[in-house]
Amino acid sequence: MPVAKGSTIDPGRTRAAILDAATPVLYERGLDGIGVAELCTRLGVSKETLYRHFGTKDGLVRAVLEARSERVTRSLAAAVAAAGPDPADQLTAVFDTFQQTYDEPRFRGCAMLNAAAQHHVEPVRAITARHLDRYLDTLVGIAERAGAADPGLLGRQLLMLVEGATVVATHHGPTGAGDHALRAALVLLAAAS
């Protein structure tokens, strides 16, 4: 990410550019599957630049995961809101959103759960837990709007279907994973109301 002669350096823009470039590399290779030297080469930045903006590779990993979590949960919330007031339609939007992710050619599973499994340290686990809590909040909200007797329980069951569908799509291919989980989720939603 060389700076053209005569231009000024914008630290915020540089940091954002590194995050954008590092996200697909770390997702593809895994958090521990690429060293700092190779990562810097792939990103087109010096180690000094990486360390200046993130402190360490772990700092970059945390920033990538936090940004990804924010982006994914914001997208999911937008899909639920766009589905209208019916909880069944909202739940359908959740699983449709995940199915679109599963169908992407470079899909390699849930980046957050992959990170927690690959890089089993407390800061990464904490980011993953917050990410799953955001999913859970969305699903509990749908359960509440559906009038579920125990929205917290239904939300956790729905979360298990979301993450189970993601694992199935990762290891057995994306075809139908979201749709099969959606059918089970709609049965649970109807039975809990």
Segment 109-129 shows an average pLDDT of 88
Find the helix packing angle between 87-102 and 177-192, rounded to 10°. Answer: 160
Half-sphere exposure of 156 (CA within 13 A, CB side): 3
Confidence band, pLDDT 50/70/90 cuts, at residue 70: very high
Residue indicated by tokens 């139908």: 176
Report pTM.
0.86
Inform me whether the pLDDT recorded for 4 exceeds 70: no
Confidence band, pLDDT 50/70/90 cuts, at residue 174: confident
The runs of H, that is alpha helices, within 2-86 are 11-29, 36-43, 47-54, 57-82
Q: Report how far apart, in Å, the C-alpha atoms of 125 and of each of 57, 61, 101, 159 are.
A: 16, 12, 22, 17
Which domains are present in the chain?
61-191 (1.10.357.10)
Mean pLDDT of the chain: 90
Spatial contact of 106 and 127, defined as CB atoms under 8 Å apart: no
Inform me whether the pLDDT recorded for 140 exceeds 90: yes
Spatial contact of 39 and 25, defined as CB atoms under 8 Å apart: yes
DSSP string, 101-120: HHTSTT--S-HHHHHHHHS-
How far apart are alpha carbons 104 and 98 in whole angstroms? 10
Residue 9 gets which letter from DSSP?
P
